[in-house]
Amino acid sequence: MNRPPGQPHAAPPRESAVLLALYERDDAVQLLFIKRTHRVGLHKGEIGFPGGRIEPDDDGPLAAALREAEEEVGIPAQDVEPIGTLPAVSTIVTNMLIYPFVGRLATPPTLIPSPFEVAETIEVPLPILLDPATRHEEDWIIRGVERRIFVYRHGPYDIWGATGRIVQDFLARLEAWPARPPAFAW
């Protein structure tokens, strides 16, 4: 299990999967985030990726991420070209294990947010996320252990927690591509 040191949980983690949806709009590659409503069970009002719990009927984590993206923001699974996975991320407080998947959309999606789950959709251009001025790090004490928190600020939105860690990992891998063109050509 992917547990932070010193933070055992009695129960196994709840497994979930998220989709990092990438597409071009306004001459830039966008990364899609959602702001959760205050009606959902966990992470009320927080910024995250489309995604959710892996259900027994799902054919694995990728299928769950695609199903949840369709349920939450109306992106049809067949419109997503899976292009990569990132290491699973665990949450300390809510005991979740999150499997992130990166998917490319050939055209910008028509987003249809689920009114129960999604307060708003947020498209962030990759150049903004790659700008060092967008990110800062904070040291927080969580359950008695100091943790480094990555925070990305975009307008009024703070992207942090597990989502911030996923973004940080994704961007580090993106920047490591030796032949990555500035416009992230498909």
Domains of the chain: 14-130 (3.90.79.10)
Whole-prediction pTM: 0.86
pLDDT at res. 130: 93
pLDDT at res. 42: 61
Structure tokens that stand for 100 in this block: 């992130």
% of the chain surpassing 70 pLDDT: 85
Would you say residue 8 has pLDDT above 80? no
Phi-psi region of 71 (alpha: psi -120 to 50; beta: other; left: phi over 0): alpha
Structure tokens that stand for 168 in this block: 């940080």
Query: Over the stretch 60-111, which tens digit does the pLDDT of each residue have?
Result: 999 999 999 999 999 999 999 999 999 999 887 778 899 999 999 999 999 9
C-alpha distances out from residue 108 to 28, 59, 78, 179, Å: 11, 26, 14, 24
CB–CB of 35/157 below 8 Å? yes
158-161: Cβ within 8 A, 24+ apart: 158/47, 159/33, 159/47, 159/124, 160/47, 161/46, 161/91
Strands (E), the chain: 14-25, 28-36, 47-48, 51-53, 80-85, 89-90, 96-105, 118-125, 135-142, 145-154, 157-159
Would you say residue 166 has pLDDT above 70? yes
Structure tokens that stand for 34 in this block: 């959602």
Mean pLDDT of the chain: 87
